[in-house]
């Protein structure tokens, strides 16, 4: 198939006016000026007209478990109060509610042009019952605060659930109908483990996950240095989060000396850093920046602009982290602290906070950079021959910079292609 559009934004070269992309099965095979692509390839033509064609967006951090909590938790006085509030809401939900929530979340993400997502679930046993309509890296979110003696059991059962759902996907591919084949292709064989945070996951749990990641091609992610209360807990052994977590029974002997970043790096050692996708990093001291400067290689960073705003965190140190060589991506986090799963909304919010960052670079935060963080840098996030055919098309106003037009898009995406399959008119 040859897909023509008014402008093709590849993310690896200048936008192409009157451009085209040739797709064979689920891969991009050619991209360039329409006349050139037409001359080099055979196949049916699809003219999208006055549209901008670009790579599908990639959400680097999300919890679709909590899509049903949208609007249920107003901003609280403290991060600790928010944890109490979400725990109260979660106690009312059944596995059936979580399944509906995950499926609704996938549909919303897709409606707003997301074609790949890093999704953390606290219920890896539900994955085999979900048919993701977009490319999905599943992470099992792990918390052992109430049963630290059962780390091995917790991790092993999560891995069994992840592996069996991935294996099902692979096995169903050749034999069943095309719908199953499509689902199978979207359950990426790459999955990951997500010890929730330094205050809810033990050092043993972090080390166990790290060990497994070193033996297998899997990803690791965690929430780190999110709130002032987390900083207060680890550095000063005081504050509302410290008291709350202590009341649950967590040993607090690692508190009172180091920041959470200092503990994280110290516990795991530099060798584990490239595997980690670290979410938030809102609270950093000067000594943290020294650690970050010295850490080589660097871990991956996810910033969630509107969740950040919901909690009223201090400004995110984007420019400083970027200048230290970190790969920064955008995520939506969950609808328990956000209003939509649209990465366009995230890019616009980011632009408001960082007006000096070019629209081209902002779009990279939702395409090229997350592809790299998820180790799909040779498959996703750009329109290049050999890459997967994950594409979206947006209306072209033709009046401003094409990257500005993309970031300004606030309507559902009416045309998308995921793994070579076309979807229209949401
Ligand atoms: Zn999160």
281-298 per-position pLDDT tens digit: 999 999 999 999 988 888
Distance 63 CA to ligand 1 centre (A): 6
The pLDDT value given to residue 217: 80
d(CA 40, CA 34): 10
> How much distance in Å is there from the Cα of 365 to the middle of ligand 1?
17
Q: How far is the CA of 102 from the centre of ligand 1 (A)?
A: 15
Whether 166 shows a pLDDT value over 90: the answer reads no
For ligand 1, the distance from its centroid to the CA atom of residue 282, given in whole angstroms, is 13
Handedness of CA 64, 67, 70, 76 (dihedral sign): negative
User: Taking ligand 1, which is a single-atom ion, which protein residues have CB atoms under 5 Å away?
Assistant: 333
pLDDT at 174: 34
- Judge whether residue 24 has pLDDT over 80: yes
**What pLDDT score was predicted for residue 165?**
82
pTM: 0.94
Tell me the pLDDT of the chain averaged across its residues.
91
On the question of pLDDT at 197 being above 90, the answer is yes
The alpha helices in 300-342, defined as continuous H runs, are 305-311, 318-323
CA 50 – ligand 1 centroid, Å = 37
Q: Determine the distance separating the centroid of ligand 1 and the alpha carbon of 227, expressed in angstroms.
A: 12
Q: So what's the pLDDT on residue 187?
A: 53
Gap from CA of 62 to ligand 1 centroid (Å)? 6
Ligand 1 centroid to Cα of residue 315, in Å, is 18
50-106, pLDDT tens digit by residue? 999 999 999 999 999 999 999 999 999 999 999 999 999 999 999 999 999 999 999
The pLDDT value given to residue 426: 43
Expressed in angstroms and rounded, the spacing between residue 289 Cα and the centre of ligand 1 is 22
Ligand 1 midpoint to CA 83 (Å): 12
Q: How far does residue 17's CA lie from ligand 1's centre (Å)?
A: 38
Q: Note the pLDDT of residue 425.
A: 59
Residue 59: both structure tokens together? 């959400």
- CA–centroid distance, residue 418 to ligand 1 (Å): 25
Q: How far apart are CA 391 and CA 49, in angstroms?
A: 15
Cα of 413 vs centre of ligand 1, distance in Å, is: 25
CA distance 11 to 31: 12
Structural contact between residues 407 and 358, judged by C-beta atoms closer than 8 angstroms: no
Find the 304 Cα to ligand 1 centroid distance in Å: 9
Is the pLDDT confidence value at 272 over 90?
no
Pairing of strands 421-424, 16-24: unpaired
Give 196 Cα–ligand 1 centroid separation in angstroms. Answer: 8
Distance 409 CA to ligand 1 centre (A): 25
**Once rounded to an integer, what is the mean pLDDT over residues 36-52?**
96
Three-class SS state of 4 = strand
Distance 174 CA to ligand 1 centre (A): 35
Residue 181 confidence (pLDDT) above 50: no
Quote the DSSP letter at residue 128: G
Contact (Cβ atoms closer than 8 angstroms) between residue 169 and residue 184: yes
**Confidence band (pLDDT; 50, 70, 90) for 185?**
low
Query: Contact at 8 Å (CB) between 111 and 103?
Result: no
Ligand 1 center to 5 CA (angstroms): 36
């Amino acid at each position: 198939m040859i897909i023509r559009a008014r402008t093709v934004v590849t993310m690896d070269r200048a936008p192409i006016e009157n451009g085209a992309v040739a797709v064979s099965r689920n891969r991009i095979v050619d991209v360039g000026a329409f006349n050139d692509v037409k001359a080099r390839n055979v196949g049916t033509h699809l003219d999208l007209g006055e549209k901008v064609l670009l790579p599908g967006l990639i959400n680097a951090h999300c919890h679709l478990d909590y899509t049903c909590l949208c609007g249920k938790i107003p901003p609280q006085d403290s991060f600790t109060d928010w944890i109490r509030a979400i725990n109260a809401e979660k106690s009312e939900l059944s596995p059936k509610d979580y399944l509906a929530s995950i499926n609704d979340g996938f549909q919303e993400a897709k409606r707003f042009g997301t074609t790949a997502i890093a999704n953390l679930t606290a219920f890896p046993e539900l994955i085999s019952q979900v048919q993701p309509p977009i490319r999905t890296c599943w992470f099992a979110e792990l918390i052992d605060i109430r049963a630290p003696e059962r780390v091995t059991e917790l991790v092993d059962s999560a891995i069994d659930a992840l592996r069996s759902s991935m294996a099902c996907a692979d096995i169903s591919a050749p034999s069943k109908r095309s719908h199953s084949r499509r689902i199978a292709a979207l359950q990426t064989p790459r999955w990951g483990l997500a010890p929730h945070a330094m205050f809810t996951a033990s050092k043993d749990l972090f080390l166990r996950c790290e060990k497994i990641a070193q033996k297998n091609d899997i990803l690791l992610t965690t929430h780190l240095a999110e709130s002032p209360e987390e900083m207060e807990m680890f550095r000063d052994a005081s504050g509302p989060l410290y008291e709350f977590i202590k009341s649950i029974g967590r040993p607090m002997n690692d508190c009172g000396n180091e920041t959470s970043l200092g503990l994280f790096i110290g516990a795991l050692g530099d060798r584990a850093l490239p595997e980690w996708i670290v979410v938030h990093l809102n609270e950093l001291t000067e000594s943290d920046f020294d650690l970050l400067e010295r850490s080589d290689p660097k871990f991956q960073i996810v910033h969630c602009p509107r969740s950040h705003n919901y909690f009223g965190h201090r400004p995110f140190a984007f420019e400083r982290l970027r200048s230290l060589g970190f790969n920064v991506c955008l995520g939506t986090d969950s609808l328990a602290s956000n209003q939509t799963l649209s990465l366009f909304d995230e890019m616009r919010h980011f632009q408001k906070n960082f007006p000096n960052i070019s629209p081209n670079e902002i779009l990279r935060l939702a395409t090229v950079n997350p592809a790299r963080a998820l180790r799909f840098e040779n498959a996703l996030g750009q329109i290049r021959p050999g890459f997967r055919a994950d594409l979206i098309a947006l209306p072209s106003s033709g009046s401003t910079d094409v990257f500005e037009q993309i970031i300004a898009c606030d309507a559902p995406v009416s045309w998308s292609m995921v793994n070579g399959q076309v979807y229209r008119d949401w």
